Amino acid sequence: MIAKNTRVVVLTGAGISAESGIRTFRASDGLWEEHRIEDVATPQGWRDNPQLVWSFYQQRRRQLLEVEPNPGHIALAELERYLDDFLLVTQNVDDLHERAGSNNLIHMHGELEKLRCEDCGHIEAMMDEEHLTDVFVACTNCGSRLRPHIVWFGEIPLQTHEIENALSQCDVFIAIGTSGHVYPASNYLHKASMHGARTICINLDPPENIEFFNDFFQGKSGELLPELVEQWIKDSTVE
């Protein structure tokens, strides 16, 4: 049972966004299949061929204008509004959680809608038409070239201290649409369990670390989450 004062940490992965039409990394029709990871998702790739990397992410940024949050995103926003202590950590770089109404949210791998200055570090949301072409965009603060505000392979995920602090204090940990083998997110289950949290997984397929979860719900998060959230809130209200 998840009561109003239950401390909950949710981790979402590519699966929840895939249900909105975001092409995923490991799907058979995955967006990355035409390119090696080293070429488009590493600092070295950016140094070697910034135009290729820029065009690749501009394509992904433009796709944000074509998709909408699904019932899974909306259910998580509803759960956040109900709970006193809630943190949503997402591996996804789209803005679907925000558009569904989530507020207490960490994008550990960065955000597509934002660009970051290579020199001064200024970060700004830039989604107007002139920001979505294959032409590089200049920093509004210092005029230098901007790069995608994305954590590439070999870079450190964002706000790791805040995430680990929440994991050490939560009562319930819920993983949704995750493969279970991308580090460090794959280790969040163990961190939460070590501190006594009940662990729940919602996924289309069993993740690699399924045996370590207390509960597993198999299916689409957009179908399962609205029912689960409604039931959790109902059961808590009855109690």
Task: Please report, for the chain, the start and end positions of each structural domain, with discontinuous segments joined by +.
Answer: 1-22+69-109+157-239, 26-66+115-150
Helices (H) and strands (E) in the chain, counts: 9, 9
Q: How many CA atoms lie within 13 A of 180 on its CB side?
A: 19
In this predicted model, what pLDDT tens digit does every residue of 222-236 receive, in sequence order? 999 999 999 999 887
pLDDT, average across residues 211-215: 95
> Could you list the active site residues?
109
Q: Which amino acid is at 195?
A: H
Q: pTM of the entire structure? A: 0.93
Of 82-86, 181-185, 231-235, the range with the highest mean pLDDT is 82-86
* Confidence label for 208 from pLDDT (cuts 50, 70 and 90): confident
Is the pLDDT score of 33 beyond 80? no
pLDDT, average across residues 107-116: 98
- The pLDDT of residue 179 is 83
* Confidence label for 59 from pLDDT (cuts 50, 70 and 90): very high
Give me the sheet containing 85-90, strands edge to edge.
105-107, 85-90, 7-12, 172-176, 198-203, 215-218
Its CATH architecture, for the domain 26-66+115-150, is: 2-Layer Sandwich (3.30)
Same fold yes or no, 1-22+69-109+157-239 and 26-66+115-150: no
pLDDT, average across residues 34-58: 93
CA atoms of 229 and 135, how far apart (whole Å): 44
Domain 1-22+69-109+157-239 has CATH 3.40.50.970: no
